């Protein structure tokens, strides 16, 4: 039985396939880690965001088991009904203290947390007049969607172009201004100029919202990419996602207590959804301990980053972008070439994703190599050798 709307979908899918833009999910068996089984093949994976190897850490797993036995699986209700468990609360307190902010709020996902912050602080619905959101053009898709869905005026500035941002701020007469940036850019691995952004926020009386999905757990003793000034500033709102270096799931927003309270009152993606299983918050508490005590893991990660960058000097296959973070993008150029390189690596048992347009700008398709403390020096050496062989 076909009907017009279904036929249009089928044509859309066929067009994606023809343009090599069709997405396919790989099938994972067993635990996430440096060595994984994907589509039945054992590979070394260079594509997870499990930067510290905590996703299958025995202490985190044990904390989850204990909490499961004690409080079951489902939270059963939203946070504002009866779903707010002591584990959620304890994690919020511990997280706020660790990142050096007065208060924190735990969300089920980073996507929902970003939607909450932009909507509640700059959106059309809850303020007398909508605000204006200023975002870096390379911000994560969830921030772009959140800005659009909030109904705020949405203005984008060229990646890292603070002069353009300043002129946009000067022109704005919005009562509530919010600057939003990835702290570590997810496809490039570079770090936002936090203090310079804060200068602009102060000069133009704006909020500064920093999404540290890829810096939390990794940068500055694990406390993430905030500078001391940004930690101390009441205008800075900090987000860490907890499915990456923390190895679990969810996201936490840390900020002035009034911001957190406002989110509890007004953020619809916090209010109108079931609380995450308390067991996950128990895992997060243990993961936070591991991050705090994680200097050995971070040292191993830093050494892998150095090994890769030194090992790929003089590579002919592509250009390694300047990055000191676990995200090490190797720019190849055309979509098809990046896909071919990714497929060739897979034949050597090395899983490295090809990131294509429209996720990244045209002709900058890349192999997005991510490193983890769970890798061995030998894993990294294998990748270096295979990449030279391809080039």
- Other C-beta atoms lying within 10 Å of the C-beta of residue 146: 30
Considering only 45, 119, 142, 335, the residue that binds ligand PLP (CB under 6 A) is: 142
| Upper half-sphere CA count for residue 382 (Cβ side, 13 Å) | 19
State in angstroms the smallest separation of the CB of 189 from ligand PLP. Answer: 11
Site for ligand PLP in 223-252 (CB under 6 A): 241, 243, 251
Does the footprint of ligand PLP cover residue 140 (CB under 6 A)?
Answer: yes
State in angstroms the smallest separation of the CB of 327 from ligand PLP. Answer: 9
Does the footprint of ligand PLP cover residue 50 (CB under 6 A)?
Answer: no
Does the footprint of ligand PLP cover residue 368 (CB under 6 A)?
Answer: no
Considering only 110, 135, 217, 278, the residue that binds ligand PLP (CB under 6 A) is: 110
Does the footprint of ligand PLP cover residue 109 (CB under 6 A)?
Answer: yes
> In angstroms, what CA-CA distances link 217 with 171, 210, 281, 283, 360?
37, 15, 16, 15, 25
For residues 57 and 211, which CB has a smaller minimum distance to ligand PLP in the complex? 211
**Beta-sheet strands, E only, within 265-326:** 319-320
State in angstroms the smallest separation of the CB of 376 from ligand PLP. Answer: 25
Q: How far apart are the first and last CA of the chain?
A: 50
Paired residues of 204 in beta bridges: none
Does the footprint of ligand PLP cover residue 186 (CB under 6 A)?
Answer: yes
Does the footprint of ligand PLP cover residue 213 (CB under 6 A)?
Answer: yes
Q: What's the distance, CA 197 to chain centroid?
A: 19
Does the footprint of ligand PLP cover residue 155 (CB under 6 A)?
Answer: no
Q: Cα–Cα–Cα angle for 266, 268, 274, nearest 5°?
A: 120
> Which residues 6+ apart lie within 8 Å of 218 measured at CB?
51, 52, 184, 224, 245, 298, 301, 325, 326
Q: Which stretch binds ligand PLP (CB under 6 A): 68-76, 104-112, 259-267, 299-307?
A: 104-112
Does the footprint of ligand PLP cover residue 370 (CB under 6 A)?
Answer: no
Tell me how far apart the alpha carbons of residues 117 and 121 are, in angstroms, rounded to a whole number. Answer: 6
Given a contact cutoff of 8 angstroms between Cβ atoms, the answer to whether 288 and 246 are in contact is yes
Q: Which stretch binds ligand PLP (CB under 6 A): 125-133, 211-219, 284-292, 340-348?
A: 211-219
State in angstroms the smallest separation of the CB of 9 from ligand PLP. Answer: 25
> In angstroms, what CA-CA distances link 5 with 8, 11, 191?
5, 10, 43
Does the footprint of ligand PLP cover residue 324 (CB under 6 A)?
Answer: no
Does the footprint of ligand PLP cover residue 284 (CB under 6 A)?
Answer: no
Considering only 92, 136, 211, 286, the residue that binds ligand PLP (CB under 6 A) is: 211
In this structure, what token pair is assigned to residue 340? 């071919």
Residue showing the smallest CB distance to ligand PLP in the complex: 110
Tell me how far apart the alpha carbons of residues 174 and 197 are, in angstroms, rounded to a whole number. Answer: 18
The site for ligand PLP (CB under 6 A) is made up of 109-111, 114, 140, 142, 182, 186, 211, 213-214, 241, 243, 251
């Amino acid at each position: 039985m076909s009907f017009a709307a279904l036929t249009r979908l089928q044509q859309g899918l066929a067009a994606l396939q023809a343009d090599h833009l069709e997405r396919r999910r790989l099938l994972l068996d067993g635990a996430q880690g440096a060595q994984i089984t994907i589509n039945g093949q054992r590979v070394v994976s260079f594509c997870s965001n499990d930067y510290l190897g905590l996703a299958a850490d025995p202490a985190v797993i044990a904390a989850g088991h204990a909490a499961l036995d004690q409080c079951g699986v489902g939270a059963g209700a939203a946070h504002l009904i009866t779903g707010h468990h002591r584990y959620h609360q304890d994690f919020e307190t511990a997280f706020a203290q660790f990142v050096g902010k007065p208060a924190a709020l735990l969300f089920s996902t980073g996507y929902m947390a970003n939607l909450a912050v932009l909507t509640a602080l700059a959106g059309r619905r809850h303020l007398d007049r909508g605000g204006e959101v200023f975002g870096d053009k390379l911000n994560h898709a969830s921030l772009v969607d959140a800005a659009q869905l909030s109904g705020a005026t949405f203005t984008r500035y060229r990646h890292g172009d603070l002069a353009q941002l300043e002129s946009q701020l000067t022109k704005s007469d919005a009562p509530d201004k919010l600057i939003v940036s990835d702290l570590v850019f997810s496809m490039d691995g570079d770090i936002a100029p936090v203090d310079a952004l804060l200068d602009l926020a102060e000069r133009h009386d704006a909020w500064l919202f920093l999404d540290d999905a890829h810096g939390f757990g990794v940068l500055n003793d694990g406390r993430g990419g905030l500078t001391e000034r940004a930690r101390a500033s009441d205008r800075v709102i900090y987000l860490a996602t907890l499915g990456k270096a923390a190895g679990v799931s969810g996201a936490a927003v840390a900020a002035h207590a009034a911001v957190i309270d406002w989110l509890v009152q007004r953020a619809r993606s916090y209010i109108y959804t079931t609380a995450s299983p308390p067991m996950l918050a128990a895992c997060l508490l243990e993961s936070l301990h591991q991050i705090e005590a994680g200097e050995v893991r971070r040292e191993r990660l830093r050494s892998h980053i150095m090994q890769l960058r030194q090992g790929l000097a003089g590579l002919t296959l592509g250009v390694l972008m300047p990055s000191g973070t676990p995200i090490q993008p190797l720019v190849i150029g055309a979509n098809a070439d990046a896909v071919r390189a990714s497929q060739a690596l897979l034949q050597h048992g090395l899983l490295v994703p090809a990131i294509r347009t429209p996720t990244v700008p045209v002709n900058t398709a890349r192999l997005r190599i991510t490193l983890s403390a769970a890798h061995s020096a030998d894993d990294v050496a294998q990748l270096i050798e295979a990449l030279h062989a391809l080039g």
